[in-house]
Amino acid sequence: MKIDKIKIKKFDKSNMLMLLKNFSKHCSDGYNLDVPKINKEFDKIIFTGMGGSGIAGDLIKVILEEFTEIPVFVIKDYNLPKFVNSKSLVFIESYSGNTEETISIYKSAKDKKSIILCISSNGEIEKMANRDEIPLIKIPSGMPPRSALGYLFFPVYKFFVENKILQNLEENFFKKIENWVEDFSLEKTNNKAIELAERFYKKIPIIYSENRFYPGILRWKTQFAENSKQFSFINILPEMNHNEIMSFTYPNWFIKKIEVLFIISKMENKRIERRIEITSNIISEKIEKEILKLELEGDNIIEKLIYLIILGDWISYYLAILNKVDPTEIKEINILKEELQKGGVL
C-alpha cells in the first residue's frame, strides 16, 4: 500500500502529522522555558515517569553519564529505592500530571525529604507542587504525552546547563532537528522513514544497538506499540551476544516474519563494532535474509540520540498508516486506566 495524503487524512484522525512536523519548535521552545534554581547540593539524580513522560529520563541519563560523576537512576514504578534520601535530586515527570505511579513516587520523595523538581502540564502533580511549594516546570498541554518529548526533555537538559553539568545547546543544533524533521516528511524523496516503514510492514522489527543508544531503540519500541499498534523487539550489544544470538531458529513462522536492524553510531567501542559485523553475518545466514544497518547522523551523542528518536517517530507514524490505524488512538490504555479507577485512586 502506498502512503499518500489521502490515506493519511483517512487514518490520522487526530492530526498527529502536525505534531511530528512541529517537533523542532517543541524542542527549541522547551529549551527556552524558565527552569527553577536548586540551591541545594545533591549526590544522586533520580528520574521518574512512565511511558511518553518517562523516556525523557532515559535519554538524559545516558547524556549525563558522559559528563558527570554523580550517579543517575531511572525509576519507573510506584516506589523509590531505599538509597533515595534528602541528598537525592528527584525529577517528577508526568505530562498529564495524573499518572498514578508518578504521583506515588512524588509522595515517597516528599516523605524522604528529597530535593524535588516537577515537570507537568496540569493535573495532580501541578496541584501538589503548588501546595507543597515544590519547583515546577509547567509545559504546554493538549497533546499525547509521547508527542510532548520536546517539552519533557529539553527543559531538564537546560536545568543541567544552568547547573554547569551539561554544555549549552547552540542554535545550529535546533536547525539540525528542523532539517531532520523535514527529511522525513511525506514530500521528501529518498525518505528513510518511509523506506523503513515499508520494510517493517507486516513484519516484526528486531532492533539492536549499543548500550548508550538503548533509550532511542526503546522509544522505537514504544512508538511502534502506541502509534503503529504492533509488536517489535529490542536488545543491546554486547549482552545479546551472550544469549539472544542463539534464538534465530524457532519458531520457524516467527523467523520468517522478522526484519533485523542494527543501529550504527560510529561512536561504538571497537569491540562492539566487530561484534555487530560478526553477529549480523551469523544472523543473516540463519534467517537467509539481508540484515539492515542504520548509520546515525549527528556529531555527538545528543545529536545522534535525537536523530534516532525523530526517525523512529516518523517510521512508526508511516507504519500506522500502512497498518490502517489511527496513530493517536490508545483504546486499550484508556480501558486499563478506567478499570484501575474502579479500584480507587492513590
- By annotation, the residues acting in catalysis are 226, 242, 337
Question: Three-state SS across the chain?
Answer: CCCCHHHHHHHCCCCHHHHHHCHHHHHHHHHCCCCCCCCCCCCEEEEECCHHHHHHHHHHHHHHCCCCCCCEEEECCCCCCCCCCCCEEEEEEECCCCCHHHHHHHHHHHHCCCEEEEEECCHHHHHHHHHHCCCEEECCCCCCHHHCHHHHHHHHHHHHHHCCCCCCCCHHHHHHHHHHHHHCCCCCCCCHHHHHHHHHCCCEEEEEEEHHHHHHHHHHHHHHHHCCCCCCEEEEECHHHHCHHHHCCCCHHHHHHEEEEEEECCCCCHHHHHHHHHHHHHHHHHHCCCCEEEECCCCCHHHHHHHHHHHHHHHHHHHHHHCCCCCCCCHHHHHHHHHHHHCCCC
Sheet with 258-264: list strands edge to edge: 233-237, 204-210, 258-264, 292-295
Residue type, 278: I
Q: Which three cell numbers stand for residue 85?
A: 534520601
Q: Which of 204, 196, 208, 295 is nearest to 243 (CA)?
A: 208
Question: Three-state SS across 134-186?
Answer: CCEEECCCCCCHHHCHHHHHHHHHHHHHHCCCCCCCCHHHHHHHHHHHHHCCC
Facing residues of 173 across strands? none
